[in-house]
Chains A and B, each alone.
Chain A
Amino acid sequence: MILKANWKYNLCWLILMVAGFYLMNTLILVGVINSFLENMMVTIGINIILAVGLNLVIGFAGQFSLGHAGFMAVGAYATAIIISKTPTAGAFYGSIIVGVIVAIVAALVVGIPTLRLRGDYLAIATMGAAEIIRIIINNLKITNGPSGMFNIPQFATWPVIYIMACVTTLIIVNFIHSRGGRAALAVREDEIAADSMGINVFKWKLAAFVLGAATAAVAGSMQASYLQTIAPSNFNIMESIAILIIVVLGGVGSITGSFVAAGILGVVDAALQSFGALRMVIYALVLILIMIFKPSGIMGATELSFKRLFNRKNKKQESGC
């Protein structure tokens, strides 16, 4: 029944996705979007995958994780190692799956002991875990140590990244609207109350954490293959924090907010390129000011939705009559 009731809105989202794809395609063909803008779009796309995944963990399951970059590194290195050895498209898609599986294993190893912790303790433990992953990568032979890997074949062109961003978002949104997602929301609101209602608190926390890590690995694969060079220093604490900034700026618990924030930050970042050293100073000031004047983020906890748009229209018509 729900499916029937929502088909109109879901169709709208589908149309939006396809239209966005064709719009970008035409603009690139016509030449309006040059390589600089395309690069910006791809960065935004990768950031969307990362931010939506982290938003699931922080915003919907309520678990403050600061280790997203560690799982991203796992995916990035899985792809980089595999497609450097066998540069075929098949190997590329295989490597995404390998990265996701390794990231899931890593998330289980990290999550099972640490998800018992709360709040800032959890944040600092996941941060430590991500740093351990990075330091291990930094010292392995197969990952070429601190200098990183170069000349990775480019399979992740913008259509691949666009589709991946759509697919991961769909998976996460569906998870949020499923039974598991409602359980995770209950855990976020009150762990003890959720527990007493018979929800397996630990299981759903872990499920959200693992799903977030899996999408981070997908984003890592995309980045490795698009940028063609990766180094362990790309996946340090600052990267985790950069993803966290997108989530908080968009609004914790708002998927569309993460989209908006990733877009705005991507455009701001590209626009400030010409400022050189001043760029990060301005960026920092903008960040502080937004947080002071809009503490709940751009979208708060609300979503942009077609449903509300239609409802508002209907109401207006009714009151107009």
Chain B
Amino acid sequence: MTTLFQQLINGLSLGSIYALLALGYTMVYGIIKLINFAHGDIYMLGAFWGYYTINYWHFNFIFALLSAMVVCAASGVIIEYFAYRPLRHAPRITALITAIGVSYFLENGMSYLYGADTRDFPQVIKQVNYSLWGVRVSNIQILILATACLLMILLQLIIKKTKMGRAMRAVSVDPDAAELVGININQTISFTFALGSSMAGAAGVLIGLYYNSIDPLMGMTPGIKAFVAAVVGGIGSVPGASLGGFLIGLLETAVQSVGLSAYKDAAVYLVLIIILLVLPSGIFGKNVKEKV
């Protein structure tokens, strides 16, 4: 029972990172139908920003987190402006290849500038372990979970309550109609990229704190898994992405805890395929009937 709860806590902390990343994927996909392969690398940028500001500018955790979110939001907007905006009306596969190009560019650019070796993330918050009924919980795990939940609630509020959020929802339903009623599409898409990228930046700083090591290629695998999480939850759906993230995190820790850690990624993909076969548009995805 204790191990079960222990794994549950570990799974939830990992899952909240995936959930934060998956939100960015799902929002961008919802609005311009692009698998933003560079999203995982924005997360890497966030982790590196946290590393440098904490080490050299002696930021505390809150400042590092907030500044990483701002920097990542800005880089997301810049990437959208230069790489994706010219391709708004191009075939979707072209935009996908561009996203892959941006991903290569960020990964290899960072490796070129700062070296490809792994670095230790500065432990800006001292790890304290609490023991609740035999379950070991560290303050960092609580911090990750709390920050992630807070950000998700904030995001949900932005999407549901603000004017910009309403514009985002309108553009994702029908861009042409949204333009007709006076919504500035470019601005809305930029805003979506900013929101998604800031989530990824926060996730980057949090994962640095949790795993204690960062490198320029760290975004690749979590990026793909977060995308899987977004698809499982139903791509385009914000609550679906959060749920999918937690689901993938829990699944991964569960497979690991029964001693099959070599197969943990395979289990994730297998569950993905099974869910897609039963629910072809994910858990919360809308099933669009095709009309002839």
Which A residues are closer than 8 A to B by beta carbons? 58, 64, 113-114, 116-118, 120-121, 123-125, 127-129, 131-132, 135-136, 138-139, 192, 237, 241, 244-245, 248-249, 252, 277-278, 280-281, 283-285, 287-288, 291-292, 295-297
**Distance to closest chain A CB from B39 (angstroms):** 14
CA gap between A296 and B97 in the complex, in Å: 11
By the criterion CB–CB under 8 Å, are A296 and B91 in contact? yes
Binding site for A on B (CB under 8 A): 29, 33, 35, 83, 86-87, 90-91, 93-98, 100-105, 107-109, 111-112, 224, 227-228, 231, 235, 262-263, 265-266, 268-270, 272-273, 276-277, 280-281, 290, 292
Complex CA gap A291/B87 in Å reads 8
Of the candidates A241, A278, A292, which one forms a contact with B86 in the assembled complex, judged by CB atoms under 8 Å apart? A292
Inter-chain contact B105/A128, CB cutoff 8 Å: no
Q: Which of A127, A278, A295 has the most CB of B within 10 A?
A: A295
Q: How far is the CB of A257 from chain B (nearest CB, A)?
A: 13
Do residues B227 and A124 form an inter-chain contact, with CB atoms below 8 A? Answer: yes
Residues of B within 8 A of A296 (CB): 90-91, 94
**Given A113-B277, A249-B97, A288-B102, also A128-B270 (CB < 8 A):** yes
Shortest CB-to-CB span from A250 to chain B, Å, is 11
Known contacts: A121-B281, A237-B224, A245-B97. The answer to whether A288 contacts B108 by CB under 8 A is no
Q: How far is the CA of A120 from the CA of B105 in the complex (A)?
A: 23
A297 proximity list for chain B (CB < 8 A): 94
Which A residues are CB-close (under 8 A) to B91?
252, 295-296
- By beta carbon, the residue of chain B nearest A276 is B112
CA distance A117 to B29 in the complex (A): 17
Alpha-carbon separation in the docked complex, A125 to B94 (Å):
20
Tell me how far the C-beta of A296 lies from the nearest C-beta in chain B, rounded to whole angstroms.
7
The answer to whether B269 touches A281, judged by C-beta atoms less than 8 angstroms apart, is: no
Return the contact of A117 from the options B90, B111, B268, B280 (Cβ within 8 A).
B280
Q: Which of chain A's residues have a CB closer than 8 A to the CB of B290?
A: 192
- Are A113 and B273 in contact, CB atoms less than 8 angstroms apart? yes
Cα separation A196 to B276 with both chains bound (whole Å): 26
Cβ–Cβ < 8 Å partners of B90 in chain A: 291, 295-296
Task: Assess the A284–B102 pair: CB atoms within 8 A.
Answer: yes
Given contacts A114-B277, A248-B93, A296-B94, contact A284 B105 (CB under 8 A): yes
Given A121-B231, A135-B265, A138-B262, is A129 in contact with B273 using a C-beta cutoff of 8 Å?
yes
Chain A residues within 8 Å of B87, by CB: 291-292, 295
| 21 A-B contacts (beta carbon < 8 Å) | A113-B277, A120-B33, A127-B224, A128-B269, A129-B269, A132-B266, A132-B270, A248-B96, A252-B91, A252-B93, A280-B107, A280-B108, A280-B111, A283-B104, A285-B105, A287-B98, A288-B101, A291-B97, A292-B83, A292-B86, A296-B94
With both chains docked as a complex, state the minimum distance between the C-beta of A112 and any C-beta of chain B, in angstroms.
11
Residues of A with C-beta under 8 A to B35: 120, 123
Majority secondary structure, B binding face: helix
In the complex, the answer to whether A288 meets B227 with C-beta atoms within 8 Å is no
Flag if A116 contacts B93 (CB, 8 Å).
no
Given A280-B108, A284-B108, A245 and B93 contact (CB-CB distance below 8 Å): no
Minimum Cβ distance to chain B for residue A193 (Å):
8
Interface of A is mostly: helix
Cα A97 to Cα B280 in complex, Å, equals: 35
A277 to B90, CA, bound (A): 31
Find out whether the CB atom of B280 lies under 8 angstroms from the CB atom of A124: no
- B102 lies within 8 A of A131 (CB): no
Q: How far is the CA of A135 from the CA of B277 in the complex (A)?
A: 21
B85 smallest CB distance to A (angstroms)? 10
Across the interface, which residues of A come within 8 angstroms of B281, CB to CB?
121
Partner of A124 from B93, B94, B100, B228 at Cβ < 8 Å: B228
Q: Which residues of A contact B224 (CB under 8 A)?
A: 127, 237
- Are B262 and A139 neighbours in the complex by a CB distance under 8 Å? yes
> CB-CB < 8 A to A123: which residues of B?
35
Which one of B93, B228, B273 contacts A64 once the chains associate, using CB atoms below 8 Å? B93
B269 touches A287 (CB 8 A): no
List, in ascending order, chain B residues with CB within 8 A of A127's CB.
224, 269
CB-based contact A124/B83 at 8 Å: no
Could you tell me if A292 and B98 are in contact, using CB atoms closer than 8 angstroms?
yes
By a CB distance below 8 angstroms, the chain A residues around B105 are 281, 284-285, 288
A residues less than 8 Å from B265 (CB atoms): 131, 135
